[in-house]
A and B are shown apart, each in its own frame.
Chain A
Amino acid sequence: MAEFFYSFLNHAFLQNAIIAGILASIVCGITGTFVIIKRITFISGGIAHTVLGGIGIAYYLGIEPLIGAFVFAILAAVIIGLIKLKGAQHEDTVIGALWAVGMALGLIFMYLTPGYKSDLMTYLFGNILLVTRSDLWVLLILNLVIIGSIFVFYRQFIAIAFDEKYARISGLKVNLLYIFLLILIALTIVVLIQIVGIILVIALLTLPAAIAFLFSRSPATMMLIAAVLGIIFTGSGIVLSYSANLPTGATIIILSGMAYFISLFLKRKKRKC
C-alpha cells in the first residue's frame, strides 16, 4: 500500500489510471443504472462486442482505433435498437449473430494488418495503466456529453425504462428515446473498453449498478451508489493489481463480482429476517 502511494506520487501513468478509473466509474454508474432497470444487459453485450469490428477496420486502415470504435458502437446501437423495436421473432439470435460477426471482423482485419499484434490483447482485456493524458481528455468530454444528455432526458428515459407501452400512449417519442439511450450506452462502452477491455466491459457496466439496485429507492440514488462503488472497485483494483502484479482489468472485475455476490447474499438474509 505504502509502496503504491510512493509510486503514485512519482508516476504519471498511475495518476492517469486513477483519474481514468474515477471518470469511467461515474459514467458507468449513470448509464449502468439504465442497463439494469431496463434489463438490456444482453443488448449492451452485443454492442460492446460488435465494437471490435470497428477497431479492427480502423487498425487496418491506419486510423485511430478509437474512431473505429465510436463509429461501430453507434452503428451497433442503432441497428440493435431497430431490431428490438421491430420485435423480430428471433431478436436474441440476431443480436447474438451481430455480436459474433463484429468480433470476427475485428480479428480478421487485425490479422490482415502487418506488424506486431499486442494491441489485440489490450482491446480485449483493456489496460488502464496505458491511459494517456489525451485519453483522459476524451474520457472527460464523453463524460460530460453522456451525463449532460441523461440529465436533460432523465424523466423520459425513466419513463421508457419503467413502462415503454405507457410512455408510447402518453405520446413520448419512445423509439427515438430508446435508440438515443442505446447510443449513450454505446459511448459509455467505448470509454470502458480502454479500462477493462471488450470482454469485461459488461461486468463493469452492470455490476456496480446491480449492487446499487438492491439498496436504492430511486434511479437517482442508484446512479450515485453505483458510481461510488465503481470508484471503489477500480481504485482498489488498481492498487491491488499493482502490488500483486496482476492484470488490472481482471482484478477490478473480480472485486466487483465478489462484492455483487456478497450483496446478493446479504439482501437475501435481510429478507429472511
Chain B
Amino acid sequence: MNKIIKIENLSYSYDFQPSLKNINLEVEENDFMAILGPNGGGKTTLLKIILGFLQPDSGKIEILGTTPQKARRHIGYVPQYAQFDSDFPIKVKEVVMMSCLQNNSFFPKYPQRAQKKAIALLKKLQIENIAEKRLGELSGGQKQRTLIARALMTDPKILLLDEPTASIDSSIEKDIYDTLEELNKNTTILLVSHDIAFVSSYVNKVTCLNVRSCTHYTKDIKGEKLQQAYMGSIKALEHGCNL
C-alpha cells in the first residue's frame, strides 16, 4: 500500500501552548480516515499543516512523497460551509468551476471543458438540477455537495473534509456519508469531525486527536452486534488512548 500522508513526531505550538504534540499519523491509499477530537484538540491546526499553511515546529510531514505545499494541488479541500456569505451572487456551477482556476485564467468565461466537467460532477453528486441556482437558495445538504463537487473538480488524490456534516440536519448526514463512501472507491478521504457515533460505521481508520494522537482500525474495534459496536468502539477508543 502506498503511503499518502505520513506524519512523524510532529509538534506545533501557538505561543508556547502546545496544540499538537508528537503526532504520528499514516494514511494509505484508499483509506477513509476520520480524525476525531474535542474542540481545541488541534484538529484545525493539523488540517492547516496538511494544507501547508502552517509549518510544524518539529517532526516530519510528507504528502504523496513530497512537501505539503507541493502536494497541495492534489488535495481537494472541503471547508465547513458555515464560513460563507450565502448572499454572494454566484451560481452553483461557477462555484464548482472556480477550483480549476489558474494564474493564467484570464477573461470572464470558463472553457467548455470546465463547464462540461462541472455538470458531470454535479450529476455524479445528484445535484445537477441546481447548477444554475444561487448559493443562497440551497439547502444545507445541497451546499455541502456543491463544495464536494468543487473539491473534486481538480481530480484530487486526497479529499480533505472539515466537519462535513457540522451544519446539516442529521437526516441528510447519512446521504453525505453514503456519497463519500462511493467516492472513496478511487479517492483517499480524510475527514475531521467531533461527531463520533456516525462516522465510525463508514471509515476504516480513526485517529483520536487531543493534542496527542492515537490511531485505530475500525475493524479491530468493532464488537459483536453493530449497535453495540458503535458504543463499544467509542468507549474502547476513549479508554485505549487516555487522551
Q: Which residues of A contact B (CB under 8 A)?
A: 37, 39, 151-156, 158-159, 161-163, 165-173, 213, 216-222
Does B64 belong to the interface (CB within 8 Å)? no
In whole Å, how far is B104's beta carbon from the nearest beta carbon of chain A? 10
- Identify the interface centre among A153, A217, A220: most chain B CB within 10 Å of its CB: A217
Question: With A151-B108, A169-B72 as given contacts, are A158 and B90 in contact (CB-CB < 8 Å)?
Answer: yes
Residues of the B chain whose Cβ atoms lie less than 8 Å from the Cβ of A156? 101, 103, 105
A122 and B87 alpha carbons, distance in the complex (Å): 37
Find out whether the CB atom of A172 lies under 8 angstroms from the CB atom of B102. yes
Find out whether the CB atom of A166 lies under 8 angstroms from the CB atom of B89. no
Find out whether the CB atom of A155 lies under 8 angstroms from the CB atom of B87. no
- Identify the interface centre among B89, B100, B106: most chain A CB within 10 Å of its CB: B89
Find out whether the CB atom of B107 lies under 8 angstroms from the CB atom of A170. no
Q: Identify the closest chain A residue to B104 (Cβ).
A: A156
Residues of the B chain whose Cβ atoms lie less than 8 Å from the Cβ of A161? 88
In whole Å, how far is A271's beta carbon from the nearest beta carbon of chain B? 12
Binding stretch for chain A, among B17-25, B73-81, B207-215: B73-81
In whole Å, how far is B102's beta carbon from the nearest beta carbon of chain A? 7
Find out whether the CB atom of A218 lies under 8 angstroms from the CB atom of B99. no
In whole Å, how far is A147's beta carbon from the nearest beta carbon of chain B? 12
Q: What are 11 A-B contacts defined by CB distance under 8 Å?
A: A151-B107, A154-B108, A155-B107, A155-B108, A162-B95, A166-B99, A166-B150, A172-B101, A213-B87, A217-B89, A218-B89
Residues of the B chain whose Cβ atoms lie less than 8 Å from the Cβ of A167? 98, 101
The 8 A-B residue pairs whose C-beta atoms are closest, nearest first, are A154-B108, A216-B89, A152-B106, A159-B98, A159-B101, A170-B99, A169-B77, A155-B105
Q: Which residues of B contact A (CB under 8 A)?
A: 51, 53, 72-73, 75, 77, 79, 84-85, 87-91, 94-95, 98-103, 105-108, 110, 134, 150, 154
Residues of the B chain whose Cβ atoms lie less than 8 Å from the Cβ of A171? 72-73, 102-103
In whole Å, how far is A35's beta carbon from the nearest beta carbon of chain B? 14
Find out whether the CB atom of A152 lies under 8 angstroms from the CB atom of B107. yes
A16 and B110 alpha carbons, distance in the complex (Å): 39
Residues of the B chain whose Cβ atoms lie less than 8 Å from the Cβ of A162? 88, 90, 95, 98
Question: With A155-B108, A169-B77, A171-B73 as given contacts, are A219 and B101 in contact (CB-CB < 8 Å)?
Answer: no
Question: With A151-B107, A155-B108, A217-B134 as given contacts, are A37 and B88 in contact (CB-CB < 8 Å)?
Answer: yes
- B77, B91, B106, B110: the one contacting A217 at CB < 8 Å is B91
Residues of the A chain whose Cβ atoms lie less than 8 Å from the Cβ of B84? 163
Residues of the A chain whose Cβ atoms lie less than 8 Å from the Cβ of B106? 152-153, 155
Find out whether the CB atom of A166 lies under 8 angstroms from the CB atom of B77. yes
In whole Å, how far is A218's beta carbon from the nearest beta carbon of chain B? 5
In whole Å, how far is B192's beta carbon from the nearest beta carbon of chain A? 15
A253 and B237 alpha carbons, distance in the complex (Å): 63
Find out whether the CB atom of A169 lies under 8 angstroms from the CB atom of B51. yes
A168 and B69 alpha carbons, distance in the complex (Å): 11
In whole Å, how far is B218's beta carbon from the nearest beta carbon of chain A? 29
Residues of the A chain whose Cβ atoms lie less than 8 Å from the Cβ of B105? 155-156
A218 and B106 alpha carbons, distance in the complex (Å): 18
Find out whether the CB atom of B90 lies under 8 angstroms from the CB atom of A169. no
In whole Å, how far is A168's beta carbon from the nearest beta carbon of chain B? 8
Residues of the A chain whose Cβ atoms lie less than 8 Å from the Cβ of B73? 170-171
Residues of the A chain whose Cβ atoms lie less than 8 Å from the Cβ of B103? 156, 171-173
In whole Å, how far is A149's beta carbon from the nearest beta carbon of chain B? 11
